[in-house]
Amino acid sequence: MEYSDHEKNIWRSGVAMTWRWRFSSALLVATLATLAVLALPGAAWAQREGVDVGGNSGFAQLVPADDIEASAAKQYTEILMQAASKKALGSADNAQVIRLRRIAQRLIPFTNEWNPRAKTWKWEVNLIGSKQINAFCMPGGKIAFYTGILEQLQLTDDEVAQIMGHEIAHALREHARARMGKSAATSIGAGVLSQLFGLGDLGRTVTNYGVQLLNMTFSRSDESEADLVGLELAARAGYDPRAGITLWQKMAASSQGAPPQWLSTHPAGNTRIADIERNLPRVLPIYERARKD
């Protein structure tokens, strides 16, 4: 049976499209598999003293860190301006602001091991007047506490350090960046391959996520990881890691059956307390040395 030139061209075109689709799909799967491997614990983590949470997620590499941090800085500035307009921004001579900044100064020197970018971050620590039981650290080291979490829970310095360490850990581990990268990979699909080779609009895609940074929710594994990294940061800074237990007990008591905003996506209190207790032997020696220095 003879085929016309037109029919042959259609067949060749169909075969070429099929192979291009198969190649793109295979390459995408291979790329995502590689990113997943990058997040696995390495030998270096197994040998270090302290908690073991492995490396940062490879999905973070799909999103430019500079773009995320620039979006965070812009949003943080807007939040502070809004608070100032309502006379709700703590002044530099406010006792609680001084306290928060003192604690941060002790924690920040120990962040570099977790993320080399932290060396260049322009850290900021502010206090916002609000009844919310909430605190956050946006990418790039932009920290804020709400007066509600300090006043309603009557936090000790050790407990504040646990919260601050937890929030800093989210930034160090680039949880927001990883979530955006994973979202981009799954929503863009094979198109993400062109982004990896510098051919697309992933940078512009990131800007669409900027408004979500403050209210972004993390997975339970992210939250558990932040607990442990925060536990170690606090211990290295000379804050008692056992305060993590009393902190979550206070959190549970304040919830009255419904978790406060800050805990809405976190693991259950009993689960996280058990995780802390299990990791105390890893960080208590660090704390004891830091306390003697």
pLDDT computed for residue 68 by the predictor:
87
Closest CA to 159 of 149, 168, 147: 149
pLDDT per residue over 2-41, tens digit each?
555 555 454 455 544 443 444 344 444 434 444 444 444 4
| Percentage of residues in the chain having pLDDT higher than 90 | 48
pLDDT per residue over 246-282, tens digit each?
998 898 887 765 555 445 455 566 788 899 999 999 9
Token couple for 180: 């955006």
3-state SS of the chain: helix, strand, coil percent to 5? 65, 5, 30
Rounded Cα gap, residues 273 and 51, in angstroms: 15
Closest CA to 71 of 178, 204, 184, 166: 204
Instruction: Check 69, 124, 159, 167 and give the catalytic one.
Output: 167
Which helix (DSSP H) or strand (DSSP E) does residue 16 occupy? helix 5-38
Neighbour-count burial for 206-219, b at 16+ CB within 10 Å, e otherwise? beebbeebbebebe
Residue 167 is among the residues annotated as catalytic for this protein: yes
pLDDT computed for residue 6 by the predictor:
52
Among 99-103, 141-145, 224-228, which stretch is predicted with the lowest mean pLDDT? 224-228
Q: Is-contact 206 26, C-beta < 8 A?
A: no
Closest CA to 112 of 63, 171, 158: 171
Q: Is-contact 100 142, C-beta < 8 A?
A: no
Residue 147 to residues 6, 134, 159, 160, 167, Cα–Cα distance (Å): 74, 8, 14, 12, 16
Q: Is the pLDDT of residue 226 over 60?
A: yes
Q: Is-contact 137 216, C-beta < 8 A?
A: no
Closest CA to 61 of 39, 89, 82, 81: 39
